Amino acid sequence: MSFDLVFFGGTGDLTWRKLMPALFQAFRHGKLPADGRILAVARDERSDADYRQFIRERFVDVDSSKRPSDDEFDRFAALLHYRRMDLSQPADYAGLKTWLDERGADTAVLYLATSPHLFPVICEQLGAAGLNGPKVRVVLEKPLGHDLASAQEINRVVRSVFTERQAFRIDHYLGKPAVQNLMALRFANALFEPLWRRECISNIQITLAESIGVGTRGDFYDRTGCLRDMVQNHALQLLTMIAMEPPSTNDADAIRDEKLKVLKSLRPFTPESVARDVLRGQYKAGTVDGKSVPGYLDEVKVPHDSACETFVALRTEVQNWRWAGVPFYLRTGKRLAARDAQIVVNFREVPHPIFPGSSRANKLVIKLQPEDGLELHLLAAKGSGQSDALSPVSLDLDFDKAFPTERVGAYERLLLDAIAGRLNLFVRSDEQEQAWRWVEPILDTWAQDTSDLKTYTAGSWGPPAASAMVARDGFAWAEEQ
């Protein structure tokens, strides 16, 4: 299959940090369709050779195991091309159309790796230039909008130019192998489905923790904040996959229909429930991995009086028959104690304990990063005496060991899916808008008053109030159990 893959924002951080290395891995693994061209467009004046050298120099920053040899890069670089474009000029889009039409590839994938405020003008210009035919797909990088109104406007413009099946709204968390295994765990195995409900599960915790700070992205992050950057998209997508009903098929729309139902079933927030069930924090100076790190207000390009949240913890419920009364706790933040993304499904204790000692409920830990696997925590008898207390044991499945061959990374998987036209791991417009609709009362409440912003020491697990919020229900975060 022949394809043309066009990156708008071809010299930006996302393209050279994430997308080009992912494409190279697909090329190295032999998964990239053979007859392809990769075109980067940006405002700078460069030749193809200049751009190839630009990318070669940035591959030095890639993990050594994923870094190309000189010969590998030369072969990959033959696919790379560059074109200067002013995204506001219709003539430049006409030139791009001519460049694409000359070869007439089977598929043209237009990847918008730009600031979201440029999405409407780019899509309108693509439509005016006729770059929206049935062979064309457009990939929209998150964040899609700043609030519900801006997201709806972006979607309105996208729908005026492209059909829904041509629009690929990307959330790279959905491309992670562990997230794909979450679907397999639930819907390819009969073991857990009878237990996957309120009668057996006491609470579910989703943690997306980062040990890094905002780095050089202080100006962007301060306009965005943790709620928009992580909760509205990544965390909510994981919640929908945990809580959704089994889809009728593995078809993209069947899956996304069920995810949408979960989003619509989430308990809506009011100013009173925001004050009770949502916590925001901001990191101050501390120690991470044995090194002193500055507080958020001392980071580059961050206003000294910023009230931007770098941590969010919240409690919600899915108000339907399966999950009624089961609290879902979401937690994410920067400069936390570890880089750790996981979902913990805490089961209820046995109704009538018969063994001595304190009982401990079972739990299933779905590890997303840095490890990728499953842990099932159980109780077992040592066998050394009749009155022995039970001891905790775990069944630990490491997917990297179980599947020792090279596994596909998130962006690699999603780029290949976009080229092939597979929508299963992409977000539909109504999903995305419903997620904004759910978080918007939090944003509105926060805009009225910033006095509830807590501080936490870098290298900790966030403000102590996050633990108190879970303890109110008689539970504890996984690291506190």
Alpha-carbon span 442 to 217, nearest angstrom: 24
Do 213 and 334 contact (CB within 8 A), yes or no?
yes
Cα separation, 73 vs 9, whole angstroms: 21
Which among 14, 4, 3, 34 has a CA at the least distance from the CA of 96? 4
Side chain identity, residue 427: V
Residue 376's DSSP bridge partners are 364, 395
Helix/strand/coil for 429: helix
Element (H, E) at 284: strand 278-284
Q: Indicate the burial class of 146 (C-beta count within 10 angstroms; 0-12, 13-18, 19 or more).
A: middle
Q: Which of 337, 289, 290, 292 minimizes the C-alpha distance to 456?
A: 337
- Identify which of 404, 402, 409, 416 has the alpha carbon closest to the alpha carbon of residue 66: 409
Rounded distance between C-alpha atoms, residue 439 and residue 454, angstroms: 19
What's the one-letter identity of residue 209?
Answer: A
Residues 409, 175 contacting (CB under 8 angstroms): yes
- Rounded CA separation 112/8 (Å): 5
Which listed residue (234, 304, 352, 377) is catalytic?
234
State both tokens at 87. 């995204």
- Mark whether 234 is an active-site residue: yes
Q: Using only C-alpha atoms, what is the Rg of the chain?
A: 24
Q: What tokens appear for 284 in the block?
A: 């101050």
What 3-state class would DSSP assign to 393?
strand
- Diameter of the chain by CA atoms? 84
Q: For residue 468, count CB atoms less than 10 angstroms from its CB and return exposed for 0-12, middle for 13-18, buried for 19 or more.
A: exposed
Confirm if 159 and 429 have CB atoms less than 8 A apart. yes
Q: Which pair of tokens denotes residue 289?
A: 């991995």
**Contact status, residue 108 vs residue 96, Cβ threshold 8 Å:** no
- Residues with a catalytic annotation lie at 234
